A = this chain, B = another copy of it.
C-alpha cells in the first residue's frame, strides 16, 4: 500500500473517530487489549524473529533489551491500553463560551488534531502506547517504527486492528508503514495533506532529521541536558540526595541530570560530599579547573561537556560566582527540558523560576519528576522541548486542538 493510500484512509477514518463517543472509544481500547492478549503467541514469535536478527547484527544488549518482548511485557501493553481507557476524555469540552455584543455566542471546543504521524525507533511497546493515546483523543494514527522491530510492530498492529474490527470500528484507526526504506520515511515527513502533526520519538539524530525534513508541523520531544544548580544557601544534604537521585535513579532518560552547577562559596564543602555520595554508583565527574583542583579524581571537562546529554554515569561539574551566572549557563547550554535549583533563599528561588527558559523548572526537587504520570496526566506520548503547542509532558489534551463554534441568529458584519 502506498503512502497516499495510507494517508487517504487515515484522513477518512479521522472523520469517524472525531465524533465517536467516549463509551465506544473505551470499549474499543478494551477490545484491543483483549486482542493483544489473545494474540500473545503471534506477537512473541514475531518479536523473536526481530530479536534474533538484531543479535546477529550485533545490536547492543541494552537496545536488545528494549526490543525484547516477554509474556509479562505483552500483558503490560494490554494493561496500558486499559489504563488509557480509564483516563478523562478531553474531547468535546467547550471553553470560555461568551456572548458578544451582537448576540453571537462564541465558544472554543476541544477537538482531535485529526491524523497523527509517529516516527520511532526499536521499542515495540510504543506501537500500542501511541495508538492508545491517539485513539482515546479521537485521532487516527500512522506509525513508522524502526526496521529492527518491524515484525513485532506488525504483529501488535494486526492484533489491535482485530480488536477494532470486533467492535465494528474502522481498523485503519491504526496503520503501520511497513516499508522502512529511507525514501519512504522522507516522503512520510512531507505528507502535509494528510498528517496534522508528526511526533518523532527517539534519539537526537532521529529528531534532528525529522525537524530538518518535515513539512508537517513537528512536536520535538526528548533531548534533555538537564542541570541542577546548588545555590550558596542550599541545604547541602538535600542537594546531595537530589543530585544522586536525578543522576543515578535511571540514567538513560531525558529528565536525568547531566550537569551540576555549584556556587563557589559552597563548592569546597559540597563537592567532596557529593563525590562520596556518587562514588557508590561509580559516577564519573568531569569538572572545571576549580572543581578538579578540589577533587583530584575529577576528569577535566571540555567545552563539549557542557552541551552533552550523557545518558550515562557521568556528570559535568562547574562552579559559578552567582545565580545570574548559573541561569545564563543553563539558558546557553540547556535543551529547555528540566532544570532545578537547590536553595533556601526565597528570592533566588523565584528568580530561577522566572528566568530559566525550560519546559519544567524546579525548586528543591529532582528533575526526574518531569513525566506525564508523575505530573498526574495518567500517561504521556512524550515530553515536548519546543514552545509551540505543547511544552513538557504531553498527555491526551496535548493531542487535541480547538475549533471555534459560533451560534448566530442571522448576524452579518456591518
B-binding residues in A (CB < 8 A): 15, 18-19, 98, 100, 104, 106, 109, 113-114, 192, 196-197, 211-212, 215, 217-219, 235, 238, 241-242, 244-246, 249, 331, 349, 353-355, 357-366, 368-370, 374-376, 386-389, 391-392, 401-413
Other 8 A-B pairs with CB < 8 A, given A18-B355, A114-B357, A392-B404: A18-B357, A192-B211, A249-B412, A362-B406, A365-B406, A365-B409, A365-B410, A391-B402
Inter-chain CA distance A197–B218, complex, in Å, is 12
List, sorted by A's number, 21 A–B pairs whose CB atoms are closer than 8 Å.
A18-B354, A18-B355, A19-B354, A104-B365, A106-B375, A192-B211, A197-B387, A212-B215, A217-B386, A249-B412, A357-B403, A359-B404, A360-B406, A362-B408, A364-B409, A365-B408, A365-B409, A365-B410, A366-B411, A369-B411, A391-B402
- A245 and B406 within 8 A (CB): no
- B364 and A408 within 8 A (CB): yes
**A355's contact among B15, B374, B375, by CB below 8 Å, is which?**
B15
Inter-chain CA distance A218–B106, complex, in Å, is 26
- A388 and B245 within 8 A (CB): no
- B375 and A410 within 8 A (CB): no
What distance in Å separates the Cβ of A85 from its nearest Cβ neighbour in chain B?
22
What distance in Å separates the Cβ of A186 from its nearest Cβ neighbour in chain B?
14
- Of A19, A106, A246, chain B has the most CB atoms within 10 Å of the CB of A106
Contacts of A215 in B (CB 8 A): 211-212
**A413's contact among B357, B374, B403, B406, by CB below 8 Å, is which?**
B374
What distance in Å separates the Cβ of A218 from its nearest Cβ neighbour in chain B?
7
Inter-chain CA distance A218–B242, complex, in Å, is 38
- B410 and A235 within 8 A (CB): yes
Contacts of A411 in B (CB 8 A): 364-366, 369
- A405 and B249 within 8 A (CB): no
**A353's contact among B392, B401, B405, B413, by CB below 8 Å, is which?**
B405
Contacts of A217 in B (CB 8 A): 217-218, 386-388
9 smallest CB-CB distances across A and B, nearest first, come from: A365-B408, A245-B412, A368-B413, A389-B389, A387-B401, A360-B404, A364-B408, A365-B411, A217-B388
A414 closest partner in B (C-beta): B249
- A392 and B403 within 8 A (CB): yes
What distance in Å separates the Cβ of A337 from its nearest Cβ neighbour in chain B?
11
A237 closest partner in B (C-beta): B410
Contacts of A388 in B (CB 8 A): 113, 196-197, 217, 219, 388-389, 401
- B104 and A369 within 8 A (CB): yes
Contacts of A404 in B (CB 8 A): 359-361, 370, 375, 391-392
Contacts of A238 in B (CB 8 A): 410
- A391 and B387 within 8 A (CB): no
Contacts of A192 in B (CB 8 A): 211
- Of A215, A218, A389, A413, chain B has the most CB atoms within 10 Å of the CB of A413
Contacts of A219 in B (CB 8 A): 388
Inter-chain CA distance A413–B405, complex, in Å, is 43
- B197 and A113 within 8 A (CB): no
- A19 and B401 within 8 A (CB): no
Contacts of A357 in B (CB 8 A): 15, 18, 114, 403
Inter-chain CA distance A241–B15, complex, in Å, is 31
- B361 and A412 within 8 A (CB): no
- Of A15, A241, A374, A411, chain B has the most CB atoms within 10 Å of the CB of A411
Contacts of A360 in B (CB 8 A): 403-406
Contacts of A211 in B (CB 8 A): 192, 215
- B359 and A403 within 8 A (CB): yes
A327 closest partner in B (C-beta): B15
Contacts of A407 in B (CB 8 A): 349, 363-364
**A241's contact among B109, B402, B410, by CB below 8 Å, is which?**
B410
What distance in Å separates the Cβ of A229 from its nearest Cβ neighbour in chain B?
14
- Of A246, A370, A387, chain B has the most CB atoms within 10 Å of the CB of A387
